[in-house]
Structure 1
Amino acid sequence: MTLSTFTFRHIGLLGLLGLSTQAIANSPQHKITIDDFFDIGIMKQVSFSPNAKQAIWVESRWDKELDKSQADLWKVDTKTRQTQRLTFSNENESSPVWSPDGQFIYFLTKRSDANEKAPFNGKNQVFRMTSNGNDIQPITKEVEGVNAFQLSQDGKNLYFIGNKTVEETDQWSAMRNSHSAPNYGHGSHESNPLHVLDLEHYKQKTLIDDGKVVWQFSVNQNQSKIARITTDDNELVKLEGWSDIDVYDVNSRTHRVLQDTQWRQQAPSPYGWLLGLAWHQNNQQLAFRIDFDGHPGKLFIADVSQKKAKITELARPDKVTLNGDDVKWRPNSDEVCYRGAIEAKVKIYCSEFENGKQQDTRSVIDADIVSGSYDFSQSGKQLALTHNGLIHFSDLFIADANKRRAKIKRITDINAQVSDWQLPQISIVKWNAPDGSQVEGILELPHGYSKPQGRLPLVVQIHGGPTSATPYALQHRSYGRSTFTADGWAILSPNYRGSTGYGDEFLTQLVGREHDIEVKDILAGVDHLIEQGIADGDKMAVMGWSNGGYLTNALISTTNRFKAASSGAGVFDQRLQWMLEDTPGHVVNFMEGLPWEKPEAYSHGSSLTTANNITTPTLIHIGENDQRVPVGHAQGLYRALRHYLNVPVELIVYPGEGHGLSHYKHRKAKMEWDKKWFDFYVLGIEE
């Protein structure tokens, strides 16, 4: 895409959103800073009121004093666009839903008092407020808290799952009990009994208490059946290959587990994650998903009206990869709807499923959107969704859900400050990989930049996953986007082989070829920007988090073209990763076997094997308690660079953090370290 084409599309989007083009004439004055990152509101978990006249959402913003991201409930009138903040606590609110009559809003949150007794014991409970935000009252009072809840279709019952410790019985139970001081690898787990609370009489009873771990549940509309995703243990490894869908018949009090042949034995990998339970209004058809690392996810519909459930796999549109777990049946229709990644966008698709067969599939919105949360009105005629665009962060939009490829109308502006920002120029750039395959990425250029101004220093910012993609949308991230372009850098975010939204073959070509094909894809993109006269090949840095950190390690052990690197939570050794991470199926999928089955693949896929090639000054970021990419990877890379290879390196371990950085001070430290490191080693700035 040329810059002139970008400008046309950028202005066209303004018209799409119904915003005044006067904003273009008024030159923005504010240069984006690191501090601006902490002032951005993120919208998620949208819920339409039954009459579609109002919508609520969870809005999160960073709070410096609390040293964390804080989430509150907000509401908007879809006609007047007047917004109202509903909660003001120092705790996070989540999972808001309307009562069927629109009078109340139910949600999850924590509250504490001096007595520290439930429901004010600092554990998640279900609370309720009136629709205008008044009279907030706790509804549950579980000693161990509530994990998830669902309001019945008639609003009379509240279903929820709690927590209960189950002691496992085997040959060594007595030994574990008699020597209780050590921690054991197994022997007990937290199960999730399912309870129902009668909201008319406030009487509670337990429906299911079978010792299972429940990752998700869904009650059908007439409350005759309850679907659960279950495992026998809390370990995340159990979810990725040993999880089941259990359907409980409330009247007969019997369970049946859906036959998993289609998503285990007949799938490209047995290590899939079940998610996204959703009942059709006929109370017999259950939609659900399964995701895989390295392979396309699948969408199924099970008809449980028969003795043996008939399970049908739905086809996806060409190139579309399923995205997220928010599968929904559009009310008063036979359409099952889901989000799908397509060429750096995320659209909402609906597939008609009638008489046991898939019919037509449509894209609901007529625009190149990056959709997030979405919800239908009670009638099914209107759609509310969040959307990230090129000139705004997540905001609420509504559309006519009955129309094919409907137009969207913007309802909120939760980040009004952005109107004065000097926004980066965002475009999609395409190039050919060494094997001839077309690859693309998101290119960000400084505000007001044009090629006659000369070449720019380049940051290659690599997305995680790898079964994911960098979106074609405005982002201000602690992992690079918007931060560096404001200081005169170009940023390339490549959607390399293995990324979603480019077809199944593009996705699966990475399997068995990590540390190879995607590295070549990325370097070909760098070469393309140099050939186009945009990037300065002598002033380049690379950064990423999670799989982006893994690929940062792979690139600096493959080439010395980068003058600086920031490796965040990146795998250094695949054997260590299989041994320690919480989802080892990820490694098994990409290595195509277990370590003793594919020793050469594990060696080839590890940057440790070629670490002697590294000369790039490298920042290493890691969370102290990261279970996904444990701290040993960072320690190993640091030891290699500092003690054996004499390469400039800093190891930054964030106390108490997991796979992401949840503290304000840690996020800011990471961003400032990256900027100073790149400025010094790439640009030679010493201040």
Structure 2
Amino acid sequence: MGRVNKLTVLAVISAGFIGLNGQAIATERTHKITNSDFFDIANMSNVQLSPDGKQAVWLESRWDKELDKAQKDLWLIDTKTRKTKRLTFTNESESSPQWSLDGQYIYYIGKQTNEDKKAPYNGKSQVFRLSIQGGESVPVTKEVEGVNAFQLGDDGSTLYFLGNKTKTDKDPWAGMRASHSTPKYGHGKVTTNPLYKLDLAHYQQSVLLDDDKVVWEFNVNADASQIARITTTDNELVNLEGWSDIEVFDTKTATNKVLPDSAWRDNAPSPYGWLLGLDWNENNQQLAFRIDFDGHPGKLFVATPKNDKANVIEVSRSGDMTLNSSDIQWRPNSNEICYRGADHARVKLFCSEIDGDQQGDTRTVIAGDLVIGSYSFSHDGKKLAFSHNGLDHFSDLFIADAASKKAKYKRITNINPQVDSWILPQISVVKWTAPDGTPVEGILDLPAGYKKGDGPLPLIVQIHGGPTSATPYALQHRSYGRSTFTANGWALLSPNYRGSTGYGDKFLTDLVGNEHDIEVADIMAGVDHLIEQGIVDGDKMAVMGWSNGGYLTNALISTTTRFKAASSGAGVFDQRLQWMLEDTPGHVINFMQGLPWEKPDAYTHGSSLTHADKIKTPTLIHIGENDQRVPLGHAQGLYRALKHYLNVPVELVIYPGEGHGLSKYQHRAAKMDWDQKWFEHYVLGKEVE
């Protein structure tokens, strides 16, 4: 396939908004997007449709400057009248909403504290119940160490939940650790998760299963005869990415069995996979679950545990789709297992028929350019509620017919009405060809009103993380790039380079063993394409990214001097250091195709440290002080190389107390302002104020 000769525009932002009553509302877009607008955006997640489909709840996240963090609260909507109501007002984020069987209550996990600070008001996570008619939330559990997860039973009168219990190892060195308790030890204590059963009619609680396992997820089938769990023997995250099991507990015989794992370990492209997502079919026999891999396509399985064996089938995928997230669900009153999948910068909902041990047809539930965030079915399986991030709005709630093969959908919320007045960027999918002939795509954001004949623009290349991820074809205002730069006259390219999801398995796995090489060539080919089209000024370019986007920022500036400025956020600088220090080392092993002593050349080539002498680009470095995924040492090493040895303009910004993402209001604001000023100075030549 030759180079595309013109910009491929799949959609341009419309100038108005279609009102919730279906009537067109003329809206004058006069507001220029700013960094501060980021903090006014509400985000929707955890959509839950009521059993009768007449109401829905969701978690709405908003930034609170006084609290210096983002805050999640529960919201309720009548799906017919579209009347909304905020349900919670605490300073702690709520999570995991579930409807009661009669649709009168919402159960959720929250935290509350009173003066005596005794459970359930001890600041630990507990299960609360809230009437949709109003009133105060009522604590349902009172665990001293808090609740980890919960599930309402299908009988409507039982609540199952995971607690927390500290277990001390009894190895030969346990006495020494106890005698000298001041130091921190690498192991010796584990927080396990006993499973409890709570009778909601009489509020009698009993221990259902306590076998000293760390439980990352559990699911009880409809008749409560079987309980599936994802377990490890230790809390350390490294155990989850290769040493986790799926166990099934028979409540009638009180026996537990581990499902044979050859399909997702021995016969998988990598043993370092993440088990996630458990859901029982209403027939009480079939258990669906997922596994994800760094660098390889994830898999979806349906198992039928019987006696000491389990019949396991892998659900096949069609087209270029890559499985996305853990929220798999059996559609009620059907034999369909449903799941989200990335497909060419969209995220769609798919349902596959499962007939015994045979897979039937797979359908895309809703056609169109959708980026679905979360979804939920009514109790009869006929209605579907889902959140969707479009080209002219952020996440909002939509309703559709779940059973139709050509389902139509309608938007019923507008949780960010301020966006109706924003001057929005032009968002399109742009295509080009990599040096080896592979077609590559990216998302191109251009200033509102820009036409190709207007001349070339300064460019920011904004690189997504993962790398097993993709930038979506949707409106985004993020602290890592999009929207504010286009408002200030920049073009912004978000390349879905080799290793991205939604472009086929080969496109995904081509990156394995080729980091710091093939994806760099993909990105630069996209940059050259935009320059050839006259859209971008090749002398005014910057590059930025976070996590793997930070790693690729480091890779690009150690490969080429064409960028005038860079912002490297939480980026790997040395692959050996990454394997030694990060909390998920299987990620590195997968891409390097072995351990450091097995593949020393791969670790050397894949490290920007090896090529650091070629860096000439003024670089802004961001890192969370307590980042466990990409530890602080990477940023310190890059800073040392540029500041003390290479004499390259550099600034190191360390965010106190932060992990891999920035959770504090003031830190997000600082990052965005630093990026803007850094690029304006080194790319556009503006004086520093």
TM exceeds 0.5? Answer: yes
- State the Cα RMSD in Å: 1.6
SS at match of 2:682: helix
Q: Could you tell me which residue of structure 1 aligns to residue 364 of structure 2? A: 363
Q: Could you tell me which residue of structure 2 aligns to residue 656 of structure 1? A: 657
Deviations along 1:233-272, one digit per CA (max 9) or x if unpaired, are 0000000000000100111111000000000010000000
With structure 2 as the length reference, what TM-score do the two structures score?
0.98
Distance, in Å, in 2 between the alignment partners of 1:388 and 1:154 is: 35
Distance, in Å, in 1 between the alignment partners of 2:279 and 2:370 is: 24
Distance, in Å, in 1 between the alignment partners of 2:613 and 2:436 is: 27
TM-aligned CA distance change 1:59 to 1:3, over 3 Å:
farther
Q: Could you tell me which residue of structure 2 aligns to residue 294 of structure 1? A: 295
Distance, in Å, in 1 between the alignment partners of 2:633 and 2:522 is: 28
Amino acid at match of 2:89: F
Deviations along 1:416-441, one digit per CA (max 9) or x if unpaired, are 11000000000000000000000000
Distance, in Å, in 2 between the alignment partners of 1:420 and 1:9 is: 16
Between 404-413 and 501-510, the greater mean CA deviation after superposition: 404-413
Distance, in Å, in 2 between the alignment partners of 1:51 and 1:321 is: 32
Distance, in Å, in 1 between the alignment partners of 2:481 and 2:128 is: 38
For 1:75-474, what aligned pairs fall within 5 Å after superposition?
Answer: 75-474=76-475
SS at match of 1:638: helix
Kindly indicate whether the alpha-carbon contact (under 8 Å) linking 1:367 and 1:407 is maintained by their aligned counterparts in 2: no
Kindly indicate whether the alpha-carbon contact (under 8 Å) linking 2:10 and 2:428 is maintained by their aligned counterparts in 1: no
**Structure 2 spans left out of the alignment, 5+ residues:** none
Amino acid at match of 2:132: S
Q: Could you tell me which residue of structure 2 aligns to residue 533 of structure 1? A: 534
Q: Could you tell me which residue of structure 2 aligns to residue 28 of structure 1? A: 29
**Structure 1 spans left out of the alignment, 5+ residues:** none
Distance, in Å, in 2 between the alignment partners of 1:57 and 1:679 is: 39
Kindly indicate whether the alpha-carbon contact (under 8 Å) linking 1:552 and 1:565 is maintained by their aligned counterparts in 2: yes
SS at match of 2:626: coil
Deviations along 1:318-372, one digit per CA (max 9) or x if unpaired, are 1110000000000000000000000000000000001221000000002110001
TM superposition shift of 1:45: 0.3
Deviations along 1:154-194, one digit per CA (max 9) or x if unpaired, are 21111000111111121212222222221111111111111
Deviations along 1:522-557, one digit per CA (max 9) or x if unpaired, are 000000000011011000000000000000000000
Amino acid at match of 1:198: D
Distance, in Å, in 1 between the alignment partners of 2:685 and 2:7 is: 33
Distance, in Å, in 1 between the alignment partners of 2:375 and 2:576 is: 40
Distance, in Å, in 2 between the alignment partners of 1:9 and 1:496 is: 23
Kindly indicate whether the alpha-carbon contact (under 8 Å) linking 1:17 and 1:408 is maintained by their aligned counterparts in 2: no
TM superposition shift of 1:131: 1.5
SS at match of 1:240: coil
Amino acid at match of 1:668: A
Q: Could you tell me which residue of structure 2 aligns to residue 500 of structure 1? A: 501
Distance, in Å, in 1 between the alignment partners of 2:202 and 2:94 is: 26
Distance, in Å, in 2 between the alignment partners of 1:166 and 1:379 is: 43
SS at match of 2:240: helix
Deviations along 1:31-86, one digit per CA (max 9) or x if unpaired, are 00001000000000010111101000000000001000010000111011111001
Kindly indicate whether the alpha-carbon contact (under 8 Å) linking 2:277 and 2:326 is maintained by their aligned counterparts in 1: yes
For 1:609-648, what aligned pairs fall within 5 Å after superposition?
Answer: 609-648=610-649
Corresponding pairs, count: 685
TM superposition shift of 1:8: 5.8
Distance, in Å, in 2 between the alignment partners of 1:245 and 1:489 is: 49
Distance, in Å, in 2 between the alignment partners of 1:261 and 1:444 is: 44
Amino acid at match of 1:42: N
TM superposition shift of 1:393: 0.1
TM-aligned CA distance change 1:19 to 1:468, over 3 Å:
farther
With structure 1 as the length reference, what TM-score do the two structures score?
0.98
1:48 is the counterpart of 2:49:
yes
TM-aligned CA distance change 1:3 to 1:76, over 3 Å:
farther
TM superposition shift of 1:123: 0.5
Distance, in Å, in 2 between the alignment partners of 1:486 and 1:507 is: 32
Distance, in Å, in 1 between the alignment partners of 2:310 and 2:652 is: 53
Deviations along 1:283-308, one digit per CA (max 9) or x if unpaired, are 11000000000000000000114541
TM superposition shift of 1:475: 0.3
Q: Could you tell me which residue of structure 2 aligns to residue 484 of structure 1? A: 485
TM superposition shift of 1:638: 0.2
SS at match of 1:38: helix
Between 429-438 and 164-173, the greater mean CA deviation after superposition: 164-173
TM superposition shift of 1:13: 11
SS at match of 1:506: helix
Between 126-135 and 268-277, the greater mean CA deviation after superposition: 126-135
Distance, in Å, in 2 between the alignment partners of 1:459 and 1:229 is: 42
Distance, in Å, in 1 between the alignment partners of 2:651 and 2:545 is: 16
Kindly indicate whether the alpha-carbon contact (under 8 Å) linking 1:168 and 1:187 is maintained by their aligned counterparts in 2: yes
For 1:647-686, what aligned pairs fall within 5 Å after superposition?
Answer: 647-686=648-687
Distance, in Å, in 2 between the alignment partners of 1:88 and 1:665 is: 22
Deviations along 1:200-241, one digit per CA (max 9) or x if unpaired, are 010001111111100000000001111000000000000000
SS at match of 2:484: coil
Kindly indicate whether the alpha-carbon contact (under 8 Å) linking 2:375 and 2:387 is maintained by their aligned counterparts in 1: yes
Kindly indicate whether the alpha-carbon contact (under 8 Å) linking 1:18 and 1:410 is maintained by their aligned counterparts in 2: no
TM superposition shift of 1:22: 4.5
Distance, in Å, in 2 between the alignment partners of 1:4 and 1:604 is: 34
For 1:510-525, what aligned pairs fall within 5 Å after superposition?
Answer: 510-525=511-526
Q: Could you tell me which residue of structure 1 aligns to residue 557 of structure 2? A: 556
Kindly indicate whether the alpha-carbon contact (under 8 Å) linking 1:545 and 1:570 is maintained by their aligned counterparts in 2: yes
Amino acid at match of 1:131: I
Q: Could you tell me which residue of structure 2 aligns to residue 593 of structure 1? A: 594
Distance, in Å, in 2 between the alignment partners of 1:466 and 1:265 is: 24
TM superposition shift of 1:27: 3.5
Distance, in Å, in 1 between the alignment partners of 2:341 and 2:10 is: 27
Kindly indicate whether the alpha-carbon contact (under 8 Å) linking 1:100 and 1:153 is maintained by their aligned counterparts in 2: yes
Distance, in Å, in 2 between the alignment partners of 1:644 and 1:10 is: 47
Deviations along 1:569-628, one digit per CA (max 9) or x if unpaired, are 000000000000000000000000000000000000000000000000000000000000
Amino acid at match of 1:384: A
Kindly indicate whether the alpha-carbon contact (under 8 Å) linking 2:16 and 2:25 is maintained by their aligned counterparts in 1: no
